Structure 1
């Protein structure tokens, strides 16, 4: 899977989970019928949000994005539906072109961040495992920390 394909899929998944979470919020706060949608879709959105942010950092290194591009990529996950716009903007500017620059037969890593990415890309199965473990660990931290706003009775 190319960086472009991975980012496009995660951007779309982030939009879908945002929409489902907003639907859950309507059911909970507007119709007052159930909070199940917020609990289920909130968790799903949180997992995809974390994955999108981690892949944004991965692509920041692989694609040689500027610090501004990395920050905007991370920020695009906060407002609803902005990740698709961001991904398409990067696509139009050619910032998602090419494959994995630091892959097995790719460029030699120079910076510490590039060495980490190159190590992960050399073993795709391990990279997926590390990514899943990171998402699960960060999700667990978020669950322990609790919701971003105090819950009302």
Structure 2
């Protein structure tokens, strides 16, 4: 027996959304690792190992985050200030995670509606 009711449209998830969330978390984790490494290098004076490991990892994560944030800005059609804040969030420790949480709560990380369809306004704003 087949149902005559139309199937609900599948929500399309942009790969950039997944990439943005993953790299935002990775950038924050490597930032924290680098800060811990610098603490041990400067305060405890044990070793430079933490800085030698997390320095390059954070550098790579930072660059990838900036690139993915710029792509997300374009693909998700963010306004000027949202895009600038997304890029600036890479500077302070854990800023990328804070931006990702704020943007997600405001519906800025929802996949854009297909061409020709209107995007519903986020709840509460």
1:73 aligns with 2:121: no
* TM-score (structure 2 length as normaliser): 0.75
CA RMSD of aligned residues (A): 1.6
Unaligned runs of 5+ in 1: 108-153
Equivalent pair of 2:37/2:48 in contact (CA under 8 Å): yes
Between the two structures, name the one with larger relative contact order (CA 8 Å, sep ≥ 6).
Answer: 2
Q: 2-side partners of 1:90 and 1:4: how far apart?
A: 11
- Structure with the larger helix share: 1
Number of equivalences: 102
Q: 1-side partners of 2:33 and 2:77: how far apart?
A: 33
1:86 aligns with 2:87: no
1:2 aligns with 2:2: no
Equivalent pair of 2:34/2:54 in contact (CA under 8 Å): yes
* TM-score (structure 1 length as normaliser): 0.62
Instruction: Give a deviation string over 1:56-85, Cα, whole Å, max 9, x none.
Output: 000111011111111101110100011111
Instruction: Give a deviation string over 1:76-135, Cα, whole Å, max 9, x none.
Output: 010001111100111111111116x7xxxx75xxxxxxxxxxxxxxxxxxxxxxxxxxxx
